[in-house]
């Protein structure tokens, strides 16, 4: 009788322990999936340093061309007044 009671208690304990470990494992897997999705979303929203530098260089090139055009316009205006 005592051995049967001990087996029932031990079986119940191991069953609860197994259930708890399975639940924790599923939760960890769920969190890993969410973390991976978050990493993918961050990559969509933010740019790399190289992309920023390329964009800034393109803007600076256009500003340099605009400055050159303004300088040429100013020279033409001065020569027209003279």
What is the rounded distance in angstroms from the CA atom of residue 42 to the CA atom of residue 35?
11
Does pLDDT of 35 surpass 90?
yes
13 and 42 share one domain: yes
35 and 55 share one domain: no
Task: Give pLDDT tens digits for 48-78.
Answer: 899 999 999 999 999 999 999 999 999 999 8
Region of 74 (left: φ > 0; alpha: ψ -120 to 50; beta: rest) is alpha
32 and 68 share one domain: no
Does pLDDT of 22 surpass 90?
yes
Task: Report residue 7's pLDDT band, with 50, 70 and 90 as the boundaries.
Answer: very high
Q: What is the DSSP string of 13-56?
A: HHHHHHHHHHHHHHHHHHHHHHHHHHHHHHHHH---HHHHHHHH
Q: Which two tokens stand for residue 32?
A: 């890993």
Domain assignment of residue 66, given as a range: 48-82
Number of domains in the chain: 2
């Amino acid at each position: 009788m005592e051995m049967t009671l001990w087996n029932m208690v031990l079986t119940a304990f191991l069953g609860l322990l197994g259930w708890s470990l399975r639940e924790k494992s599923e939760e960890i897997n769920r969190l890993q999936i969410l973390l991976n999705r978050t990493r993918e979303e961050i990559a969509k929203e933010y740019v790399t340093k190289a992309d920023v530098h390329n964009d800034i260089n393109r803007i600076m090139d256009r500003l340099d061309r605009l400055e050159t055009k303004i300088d040429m316009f100013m020279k033409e205006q001065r020569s027209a007044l003279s």
